[in-house]
A and B are shown apart, each in its own frame.
Chain A
Amino acid sequence: MTEKTNTGSEKVMDVDPGLFTFAEFDEVSSERTGYSDYSYWKSTFRVFLKNKVALMLLVFLATLILFTLIQPLLPGQKSPTEIYNDPATSMQLRNLPPSKAFWFGTNSIGQDLWSRIWSGTRTTMLIALMVGVIEVGIGIIYGSLWGYVRKLDRLLTEIYNVLSNIPTVIFLLLLAFMMKPGIKTMIIAMSITGWLGMARFIRNQIVIIRDREYNLASRCLGTPTRRIIMKNLLPYLVSVIMMQTALSIPATIGWEVLLTYIGVGLPVSIPSLGNLVNEGRLIMMSPELRYQLIFPVIVVSSITVSLYVLGNAFSDASDPRNHV
Chain B
Amino acid sequence: MLKYTLKRLAQSVVTLLLVVTFVFLLMRLMPVEGYFGDRSDKLTPAQREAILDKLGLLDPWYVQVGNFYKNLSHGDMGTSSVYRVEVPVIEVIVPRVPYSVAFGLIATGMSLVFGLAMGVHMARHKGRFWDKTWTAYVVFMNAVPLAVYLLFVQLYASSLLKLPILFDKHDWLSWILPALSMSLGGIAGNALWMRRYMVDELNKDYIKLARAKGMSSSAIMVKHVMRNAYTPMAQYLPMAVLLTIGGSIYVESLYSIPGMGGLLVDVIQRQDNPMVQALVLIFSSVGILGLFLGDVLMGLVDPRIKHEKSEGAR
A–B contact with Cβ pairs below 8 Å: the answer is yes
Chain A interface (Cβ < 8 Å from any Cβ of B)? 158, 161-162, 165-167, 169-170, 173-174, 177-178, 250, 253-255, 257-258, 261-264, 277, 281, 284-285, 293, 297, 300-301, 304-305, 307-309
Contact of B139 among A158, A255, A309 (CB under 8 A): A309
- B30 close to A (CB within 8 Å): yes
Chain A residues with Cβ below 8 Å from B268 are 173, 177, 262-264
Q: Are B144 and A301 in contact (CB under 8 A)?
A: yes
Chain A residues with Cβ below 8 Å from B22 are 162
Q: Are A158 and B144 in contact (CB under 8 A)?
A: no
Chain B residues with Cβ below 8 Å from A161 are 15, 18
**From B261, which residue of chain A is reached at the shortest CB distance?**
A169
* Given A162-B18, A284-B151, A304 contacting B145 (CB threshold 8 A): yes
Q: Are A254 and B147 in contact (CB under 8 A)?
A: yes
**Which label, helix, strand, loop or mixed, suits the secondary structure of the A interface?**
helix
Chain A residues with Cβ below 8 Å from B27 are 174, 178
Q: Are A301 and B287 in contact (CB under 8 A)?
A: no
Q: Are A170 and B283 in contact (CB under 8 A)?
A: yes
Chain B interface (Cβ < 8 Å from any Cβ of A)? 15, 18-19, 22-23, 26-27, 29-31, 139-140, 142-148, 151-152, 155, 243, 246-247, 249-250, 253, 264-265, 268-269, 276, 280, 283-284, 286-288, 291
Q: Are A170 and B30 in contact (CB under 8 A)?
A: no
A-B contact count (CB 8 A): 109
A-B contact pairs, 22 of them (CB 8 A): A162-B18, A165-B19, A165-B287, A166-B284, A167-B286, A167-B287, A169-B246, A169-B247, A169-B249, A178-B27, A250-B144, A250-B145, A254-B144, A255-B145, A257-B148, A261-B253, A262-B249, A284-B155, A300-B148, A304-B143, A305-B140, A309-B139
A189 and B223 alpha carbons, distance in the complex (Å): 47
A264 and B247 alpha carbons, distance in the complex (Å): 17
Task: State how many angstroms separate the Cβ of B274 from the closest Cβ of chain A.
Answer: 13
A162 and B27 alpha carbons, distance in the complex (Å): 15
A250 and B145 alpha carbons, distance in the complex (Å): 7
Chain B residues with Cβ below 8 Å from A297 are 148, 151-152
Chain B residues with Cβ below 8 Å from A165 are 15, 19, 284, 287-288, 291
Contact of B276 among A177, A263, A281 (CB under 8 A): A177
Q: Lowest 5 A-B CB distances belong to which pairs? A: A254-B145, A308-B143, A257-B147, A304-B143, A305-B143
Q: Are B26 and A174 in contact (CB under 8 A)?
A: yes
Q: Are B148 and A167 in contact (CB under 8 A)?
A: no
Most B CB contacts (10 A, CB to CB) among A165, A281, A308 go to A165
Q: Are B151 and A293 in contact (CB under 8 A)?
A: yes
Chain B residues with Cβ below 8 Å from A305 are 139-140, 143-144
Task: State how many angstroms separate the Cβ of B272 from the closest Cβ of chain A.
Answer: 11
Chain A residues with Cβ below 8 Å from B264 are 170, 173
A274 and B190 alpha carbons, distance in the complex (Å): 27
A263 and B18 alpha carbons, distance in the complex (Å): 29
**From B23, which residue of chain A is reached at the shortest CB distance?**
A166
A173 and B246 alpha carbons, distance in the complex (Å): 12
Chain A residues with Cβ below 8 Å from B15 are 161-162, 165
Chain A residues with Cβ below 8 Å from B23 are 166, 174
A281 and B253 alpha carbons, distance in the complex (Å): 13
Chain A residues with Cβ below 8 Å from B284 are 165-167, 170
A263 and B267 alpha carbons, distance in the complex (Å): 11
Task: State how many angstroms separate the Cβ of A157 from the closest Cβ of chain B.
Answer: 11
Q: Are A300 and B145 in contact (CB under 8 A)?
A: yes
Most A CB contacts (10 A, CB to CB) among B143, B249, B250 go to B143
Task: State how many angstroms separate the Cβ of B241 from the closest Cβ of chain A.
Answer: 13
A192 and B282 alpha carbons, distance in the complex (Å): 21
